[in-house]
Structures are given as structure tokens and as C-alpha cells.
Chains A and B, each alone.
Chain A
Amino acid sequence: MRYTSFTSYDLILLAQGLGVSVALFLVTTLIGFLIGTIWAVMRFYRVPLLTPLITFLAELLKNSPVLVQLFLVFFGLPALLKINVTPVEAAVITLSGNTAAFIYVIAVAAIESIGRDQIESARVFGLSRWQILRHVVAPQAMAFAIGPLTGLLVNQLQVTSLISVIGVVDLTKIGNILNLRTLKPFIVWTVVGGLYYIAAKLIALGGARLERRLRAHTAWKGL
């Protein structure tokens, strides 16, 4: 067997790379979701000072390239603070922050889509602001947000491929390694692209299923 031919071990490499990509995606989505939602809740409570600050931060994160943010965290932060940042840490910090910014924007739009009548009819019955958020606003906002959210997550999965440039051995990095060894770029990148496609499709399918469930109440089932 020649050095350049594919082996079954390459499949394990690809699976590992995919695992790293998906794990990073899941972890940063979770962190980003938490942070973005907390930001949106602070805005719902109209926390003074913090709200404009969060909006500004989200704007910054949204409107600058993720790759630049990644370099800033990986190269810039260690230089400034004299600390050590590993590639994985830099990837988690950057992608979480980026996801948080977009989730914040989606969550704010979703909360603002809830009619004032909904909040008023809960207020007159004496529900507290938290109870209104929890029982009236959040479920409806979630049904509104799930579509854009699914789109965002499909995109954020692709964005994880950027982290290969700082040396995280994700699916793209594995693709690079295999490509250099086998010198068969078309096959390698087709397979890698196909794996991203399948993962993205699963996210989209999951999102669509959740959306159907969350919007079940709008369906007319006849009298």
C-alpha cells in the first residue's frame, strides 16, 4: 500500500474530527444560548446601563469577522494579559461569544414580537414580571424564535471550521491533513463537505421538528 492511498484508519480520523467539530458546536451553542438569553432577559427587565452596554457588545460581535475575533482571543489576549490561551479555549470563547450575540438579537426580536395585549392580560391578573416572562412571553417567544434559531445554528456549525487555522484538530483540520498526505483534494474535500452537510441537515431537521411542536397550538384542528 502506498503512503498516499486511503486507509480504514482515515475513517477513524474523520470521525474524530467530526466529533471535535460537533462537540465544540454543542458546547459553544449551549454557552452562547445561556449568555444570549440572559442578555435578552436583562433587556426585558430594562436593567439600566447594562442594556445599552449589552447591545453595543452584541453589535461589535455581530459586525466583525469571527476569524478576526478568534485571532484577537488567541494571539491578542495572551499578549495583552500575559496569560496562556490554548487553541480549544480560544475557540470556545470566540464561538460562544459570537453565538451569544446572534442569539441575543433573535431573542430580543422574539420577545418584542409578543403583543402588548398578552403582557397586559397577564399583568391585570396579578402575575409578576418573572411569571409573565416564564409563562406567557418565553413559550411564545420560543415558538417565534425557533426558525431563525435553527438557521443560526446551521450557520454556526459551518463557522466552527474557522478554528482549524489556530490548530484545533476539527473536521476541517483532518481534511487538511488527509489532503496533504493523499494529494487527492477532490475526494477529501467532498467527503469532509458531505459530513458537514449531514450534520447541518440533522440540526435543521431537529429544528423543524421542534418548531412543529412549539407551534402546535396555532394549528386549526376543526371544531
Chain B
Amino acid sequence: MIRARGVQKSFGSAVVLDGIDLDVNVGEVVSILGSSGSGKSTLIRCMNGLERLDGGLITIDDFDVSNPKDLAEARKRSATVFQLFNLYPHMTAVENVTLAPIQVLRIPRAQAESEARALLDSVGLGARADAYPAQLSGGQRQRVGICRALAMKPRYLLLDEITSALDPEMTAEVLNILAQLARTGTTMVFVTHEIEFARTISSRIVFLDKGRLVVDLPTDRFFAGDGGMANARIAQFLSKMRKE
């Protein structure tokens, strides 16, 4: 499981995460909501070791991401999908997907490649496996991004607003894949503004506000009038999101 305890993070004098406690158990989909600047991306970046914690603890299956000796193992257990895809532009889709399995997991190239092609096929990109990112649409690129993460066979998927750079049609392409992953029991930490979609796939929803975790509730409780909606900030956030 992913466990965060009292996580503190500041940039200069700005406190961005202020004592975050969060557990994500295997099999759960935990969606993180919150307005822009509330610290959602920073929390994900603390989980995958891209930011150093200023205080508190994050462990992934008991591997401490702040401990350089544990970090490699922690990173093998989680995989990140980025908002802006962050594909390697000089590599084809299949090369993007196989790089880490070959280099980090030491999977033989032929095996990594056939697994990558099967993955790309499963997200409808079988015919585009040898295309470069510049030759793919945004939605296709993000599907490659998801395959790149899945190819590491991670126990936890960390997804940071992976559809916010996409138009509605492409967003649907990508969300369909996530829905499928959720059905097969993939554990996900899902930062999103797609409220309705989050509602359909999440086991729990947490709400971040100014670096604090305001609520952490089962999905139905989050949307209940006497649950999350009882919180003025959350009610305001949800009504604003629904209008957009």
C-alpha cells in the first residue's frame, strides 16, 4: 500500500503540502480533487520521488521514497502518467514503451517488444506502434503514456490530470481505458478534474485545499449532502466544476 504520513513540502516560503495523511490500498482507486494550485501535482511528485519531502513520510509497500536505497524499489512498484504525456520524441511508440522494461527490469528486448505491442494493441494503437509521438494525436500520445506506465507492471498507477490537455473526444478515449483498468482491479491514484468520471470509478475521493487534505471519504459519502458536500469549499468547488 501507499502510505503518506504528515507530508510537508514547501517551495521557498510557500507551504504547498501541509501535513498530508493518505493511505491507498491495493485494489483501490483514490481520486484526488482540488482546485488548481492546491498541491495535487506536488503530492504525486512526492510519491514518485521527483520532489524531496520537507517533513513526514511516504512509503510504497514499506519502501521509503526519501531513502535513496529504497527509492529504486519504490519506483518499480509505481508508475506515473503525466499531464503533458512526456513521451520521448525521438522514439517510436513501441520504443517509448519498451525503454524502461529493457533498461530497468532487464527484460529481453524481443519479449519487451511483443509485450509492448500487445499493450498498444489493447488501447487501440496496434497500427500506430511504430509511429513517433509527433505523428500521433494528443489522445493517442496519452494512450502511449499509459502503456509506458503499464509496461512496468506497476502495483500502483499515479495519474496526474492525464486528460486535461485533451479535447473531449480524446478525453473519452483515455478515460475508457482507465475505466477498463479500474474494472480489472488496478490500483490508481487519480488526480483529475473529471468529477463525474471520478465518481464512477473511485473507491474513495480525497479533497485537497491549500495543501491540506480536507476530506477523505468513500465516493458515495463524498457526494452526499451530509458528507463531503457539507463542506462549503467542496460544494463550491463541485458546483464550479459542473458549470464548466
Contacts and interface: CB of A to CB of B under 8 A. Distances in A.
A123 B135 CA distance: 25
Contacts of B57: none
Contacts of A143: 90
A218 interface: yes
Contacts of A216: 132
A136 B79 CA distance: 18
B137 interface: yes
A127 B48 contact: no
Contacts of A123: 49-50
A139 B92 CA distance: 13
Contacts of A48: none
Contacts of B135: 220-223
A139 B90 contact: yes
B193 to A, nearest CB: 20
Given A217-B132, A220-B135, A221-B135, A126 B86 contact: no
Contacts of B87: 121
Contact of A125 (B104, B133, B136): B104
Contacts of A139: 90
B101 to A, nearest CB: 9
A124 B49 contact: yes
Interface residues of A, number: 24
B75 A124 contact: yes
B103 interface: yes
B237 interface: no
A155 interface: no
A219 interface: yes
A131 interface: yes
B89 interface: yes
A131 B89 contact: no
Contact of A117 (B49, B86, B132, B134): B86
B210 interface: no
Contacts of A190: none
B68 to A, nearest CB: 12
Given A131-B103, A223-B137, A117 B84 contact: yes
Given A120-B50, A217-B90, A126 B76 contact: yes
A217 B136 CA distance: 11
Interface residues of B, number: 30
Interface string B101-143: 0011000000000000000000000000001111111000000
A176 interface: no
A101 to B, nearest CB: 27
B175 interface: no
Interface string A125-155: 1110001000110011001000000000000
B82 interface: yes
Contact of A118 (B50, B72, B88, B103): B88
A145 B170 CA distance: 35
A135 B86 CA distance: 15
Contacts of B91: 217
Contact of A135 (B82, B84, B89, B103): B103
A127 B103 contact: yes
B89 A125 contact: no
A126 B152 CA distance: 10
A121 B75 contact: no
A216 B135 CA distance: 11
Interface in A169-223: 216-223
Given A126-B104, A136-B99, 11 more contacts: A118-B88, A120-B86, A121-B80, A122-B99, A124-B48, A125-B99, A127-B99, A135-B99, A140-B89, A222-B135, A223-B137
11 contacts: A121-B86, A122-B100, A125-B79, A135-B88, A136-B88, A140-B89, A140-B90, A217-B90, A217-B132, A218-B132, A222-B135
Interface of A: 117-118, 120-127, 131, 135-136, 139-140, 143, 216-223
